[in-house]
């Protein structure tokens, strides 16, 4: 699908259909009000109505907020892709261009890599019509970069574990580095052993695929800030010997979504050419069962030297992140540290399916994230740390347990586990994002379709643009 900017004065824009927005207030003022009323169109949010004779696709919105525009465009593009129209036009302004592009690109996203007979789509061209093209060029370019980076992330999340394992994840990172002029360093298992990353290595011990630590670096000429991004890259999670139920194992290709988001963010910021330095670390591991699998009752020695009692091998992501966070802090003196992980089902219980959980010590930093999330159209919710939940991670035989002794506040206790591997001088620089609910969906919502959503890419890119 080709999305293009056009000046209104250009006379040769002849789209097959025009997309127009209607609220309940302006519906009565339109020349086609009578026809729309006869069709039962009431301009409710996300309602649409084709007026084929007048070549109009009417889109209902509650008001002109970006969230409403993006949502209804996501509905409209799906319907247009199912039609026989080959082109469509939309009038845009500065306030809605980003929302329209996200609705078109993200709402129209499809992942057909494994379909032998994907449906042919006749829709080819979308014309974004404006008064002065020069005023919109930068906004158009930036919105397209972020939307396409989000789709890039979705593609990786949706790739099956047979095709995307730790070595192929590393290969993908190298390809991204080459295309976007990034530095790339890969640590294999020999290097991980030298770095004493036994927690991470133990999780991947039963897999036939070697675990990999991916380190990507983007550096502008005069960086104003240094940022570290850390992603959980569990290319598949069977639960290990604490085996997941069969129904819970389906969709576990999405357990790499944190690592995928980190790669997507690197793609976006390098193409936006932001004046910052960013280091991305992904712990790429596969958690499987086998004779060499790590076990409940094991005590692992992490890279930091802290010992971890294993009570559940399905709480594996935090073990990988513990070592990767330690490695990242030892190798980069960052102004900010952000980690992304599909860490706990408990986060979904606490905040619902659509919201990313935010944890950390700095209220100021959490406020900045909330502001960026609101601007980008992603949902975030803060989950508070407290000293009483921290006590539930106490172990009688090691420094810390990998799971809480009580089944409450699971998302927070997982965050507190990670917090124990954050150095004191970095406590106020760090935030943990639990994307377990927001990273994958099996039903359409907003601009998200079945599969990976690319959670984290839009709000973190916005934050890094303004930080």
Task: Tell me which residues are annotated as active site.
Answer: 244, 318
* Cα torsion 353, 447, 463, 274: sign: positive
Distance between CA atoms of residues 285 and 167, nearest Å: 9
Helix and strand counts by DSSP (H, E) for the chain: 15, 19
Q: Beta partners for 359?
A: 432
Q: Taking the CB of residue 117, how many other CB atoms lie within 10 A of it?
A: 6
Contact 440, 95 (CB under 8 A): no
Tokens of 34: 């009578």
Q: Taking the CB of residue 191, how many other CB atoms lie within 10 A of it?
A: 13
DSSP category for residue 214: E
Q: Taking the CB of residue 130, how many other CB atoms lie within 10 A of it?
A: 21
Report the side by side order of strands in the sheet with 307-309.
Answer: 299-301, 307-309, 400-401
Contact 277, 226 (CB under 8 A): yes
Residue 412 makes CB contacts below 8 A (sequence gap 6+) with 359, 383, 384, 385, 386, 389
Helix ranges (H only) for 216-300 are 246-249, 257-272
Report the Cα 331 to chain-centroid distance in Å: 25
Distance between CA atoms of residues 43 and 37, nearest Å: 10
Closest C-alpha to 334, from 415, 414, 425 = 425
In 152-298, DSSP assigns E strands to 183-187, 212-219, 226-237, 277-287
Distance between CA atoms of residues 344 and 319, nearest Å: 13
Strand 277-287 to strand 226-237: parallel, antiparallel, or no bridges (unpaired)? parallel
Helix ranges (H only) for 13-132 are 33-38, 66-81, 97-107
């Amino acid at each position: 699908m080709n999305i293009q900017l056009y000046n209104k004065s250009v006379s040769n824009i002849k789209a097959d259909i025009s997309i127009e927005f209607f609220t309940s207030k302006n519906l009565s003022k339109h020349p086609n009000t009578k026809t729309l009323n006869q069709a039962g169109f009431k301009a409710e949010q996300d309602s649409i109505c084709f007026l084929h004779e007048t070549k109009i696709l009417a889109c209902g919105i509650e008001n002109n907020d970006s969230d409403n525009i993006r949502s209804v465009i996501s509905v409209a593009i799906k319907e247009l892709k199912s039609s026989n129209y080959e082109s469509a036009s939309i009038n845009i302004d500065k306030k809605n261009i980003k929302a329209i592009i996200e609705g078109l690109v993200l709402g129209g996203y499809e992942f057909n890599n494994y379909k032998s007979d994907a449906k042919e789509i006749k829709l080819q061209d979308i014309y974004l019509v404006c008064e002065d093209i020069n005023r919109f060029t930068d906004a158009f370019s930036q919105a397209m970069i972020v939307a396409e980076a989000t789709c890039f992330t979705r593609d990786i999340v949706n790739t099956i574990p047979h095709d995307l394992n730790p070595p192929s994840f590393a290969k993908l990172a190298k390809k991204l580095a080459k295309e976007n002029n990034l530095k790339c360093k890969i640590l294999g298992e020999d290097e991980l052993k030298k770095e004493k990353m036994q927690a991470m290595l133990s999780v991947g011990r039963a897999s036939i695929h070697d675990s990999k630590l991916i380190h990507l670096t983007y550096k502008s000429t005069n960086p104003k800030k240094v940022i570290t991004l850390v992603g959980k890259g569990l290319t598949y999670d069977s639960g290990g010997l604490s085996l997941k139920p069969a129904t819970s194992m389906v969709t576990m290709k999405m357990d790499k979504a944190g690592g995928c988001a980190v790669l997507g963010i690197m793609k976006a910021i390098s193409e936006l050419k932001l004046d910052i330095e960013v280091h991305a670390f992904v712990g790429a591991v596969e958690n499987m069962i086998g004779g060499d699998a790590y076990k409940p009752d094991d005590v692992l020695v992490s890279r930091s030297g802290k010992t971890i009692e294993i009570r559940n091998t399905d709480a594996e992501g935090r073990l990988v992140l513990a070592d990767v966070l330690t490695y990242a802090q030892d190798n980069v003196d960052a102004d900010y540290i952000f980690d992304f992980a599909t860490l706990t089902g408990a986060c979904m219980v606490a905040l619902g399916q659509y919201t990313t959980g935010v944890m950390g010590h700095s209220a100021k930093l959490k406020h900045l994230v909330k502001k960026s999330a609101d601007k980008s159209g992603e949902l975030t919710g803060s989950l508070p740390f407290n000293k009483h939940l921290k006590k539930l991670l106490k172990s009688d035989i090691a420094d810390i347990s990998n799971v809480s002794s009580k089944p409450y506040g699971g998302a927070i206790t997982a965050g507190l586990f990670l917090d124990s591997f954050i150095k004191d001088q970095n406590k106020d620089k760090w935030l943990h994002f639990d994307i377990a609910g927001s990273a994958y969906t099996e039903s359409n919502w907003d601009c998200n379709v079945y599969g990976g959503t690319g959670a984290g890419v839009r709000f973190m890119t916005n934050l890094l643009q303004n930080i």
